[in-house]
Amino acid sequence: MALQGSCVVIPCTFTYPGRERKQSDLTAMWHTKDHAFIYHPDIGEVLYRFRGRTSLVGDLGRKNCSLKIDRVQRIDGGPFIFRLAIDDGEKFSYTKSEVSIVIKDRPDVPLLTVGEPVKVGETVSASCSVYHSCPSNPPLLSWNHVGTHSVHSEKLPGGQWRMVSVLLFTSSVSDHKKPLTCTTKYWEGKTVRSSKALNVKYAPINVRIDFESTAKEGDSVELQCSSDSNPAAHRYQWYSAAWELQSEGNTLTLHNVSRHTGAYFCTAINTEGQGSSSPVRINVEYPPEIEVGSTCMVNSSGVTCHCIVDSVPSAEVKWLLSEGYLLSSWTETDGSVTMYTLHTTRGLFHAISCEASNIHGIVTMDFVLPRR
Give the contacts of 47 (CB within 8 A, at least 6 positions apart).
32, 36, 37, 38
Name the architecture of domain 111-198: Sandwich (2.60)
Q: What is the pLDDT of residue 18?
A: 84
What pTM does this model have? Answer: 0.75
Q: What is the pLDDT of residue 268?
A: 98
Tens digits of per-residue pLDDT, 322-352? 778 888 889 999 999 999 999 988 776 788 9
The CATH fold of domain 286-368: Immunoglobulin-like (2.60.40)
The CATH fold of domain 203-281: Immunoglobulin-like (2.60.40)
CATH of domain 2-104: 2.60.40.10
Reported confidence tier of residue 291, pLDDT bands at 50, 70, 90: very high
Candidates 144, 149, 9, 142; CA nearest to 72 is 9
Q: What is the pLDDT of residue 370?
A: 77
CATH 2.60.40.10 residue spans of the chain: 2-104, 111-198, 203-281, 286-368
**Cβ neighbours of 131 (radius 10 Å):** 17
325 burial (CB, 10 Å; 0-12 / 13-18 / 19+) is exposed
Q: Measured between alpha carbons, how far is residue 361 from residues 213, 237, 316 in Å?
A: 20, 37, 11
Tens digits of per-residue pLDDT, 180-236? 999 999 987 889 999 999 999 999 999 999 999 999 999 999 999 999 999 999 999
